[in-house]
Amino acid sequence: MKNSKAILQVPGTMKIISAEIPVPKEDEVLIKVEYVGICGSDVHGFESGPFIPPKDPNQEIGLGHECAGTVVAVGSRVRKFKPGDRVNIEPGVPCGHCRYCLEGKYNICPDVDFMATQPNYRGALTHYLCHPESFTYKLPDNMDTMEGALVEPAAVGMHAAMLADVKPGKKIIILGAGCIGLMTLQACKCLGATEIAVVDVLEKRLTMAEQLGATVVINGAKEDTI
């Protein structure tokens, strides 16, 4: 097996370099990456550099965190997975011992190691990566691997819809038709919303929103949204 990864050299320029295949720690799985989503943060990182620049100017900067693939090896203490399992990952790995982690709010852990950002800037644009068993998830048989890479942004959209208490018959307006806005649109439809208006300033996004089921689309640059 050979490995390579894409790193950001300077804003607007990436380079593919050879890399060692990582060896999983006792609680990690080695994943052959098959699909990686392009998040808005990846676009920003590519165009302008990372949100939080590394302290070391020689730090390699990877991009990508929405990924799915196939397990090819497991650490000695891993019990949930075996080679051949199709999986996706939760890209933020918390410390596990701060107050927030102990309260079950690990998503706001101040020391979270989130892929493609500080402290390691380890991106998913690579053929092979290691990830903790606890933050790796097996894909169901009725979900293909490409769909698995979309679970992370889809979960954000579903969370937004649930916070808005979307239910059958409810009227919804979504401000912004980027990836997360469109995921939220689909989540609202799944939860039974019957009238969904979407606002954006880009026609191509509004066209996509219509194709995904928005009942009203408004170009905020041309129309009064109030």
Query: Which string of DSSP letters, residue by residue, matches 68-120?
Result: EEEEEEE-TT--S--TT-EEEE-SEE--SSSHHHHTT-GGG-TT-EETTSTTT
CA–CA distance, 31 with 87 (Å, rounded to integer)? 8
Q: Enumerate helices (H) and strands (E) in the chain, giving the number of each.
A: 6, 12
Give me the pLDDT at residue 53, please.
Answer: 87
Q: Which two tokens stand for residue 163?
A: 């916070």
Q: What is the pLDDT of residue 43?
A: 95
- Decide the pairing of beta strands 3-10 and 216-219: unpaired
Burial degree of 75 (CB within 10 A; 0-12, 13-18, 19+): middle
In this prediction, residue 120 carries a pLDDT of 87
pTM of the model: 0.90
Q: What is the pLDDT along the chain (226 residues), one digit of tens a residue?
A: 899 999 999 999 999 999 999 999 999 999 999 999 999 999 999 999 988 888 888 899 999 999 999 999 999 999 999 999 999 999 999 999 999 999 999 999 999 999 999 888 999 999 999 999 999 999 999 999 999 999 999 999 999 999 999 999 999 999 999 999 999 999 999 999 999 999 999 999 999 999 999 999 999 999 988 7
Q: Which domains does the chain carry?
A: 3-149 (3.90.180.10), 153-219 (3.40.50.720)
Peptide bond just before 119 cis, omega within 30 deg? yes
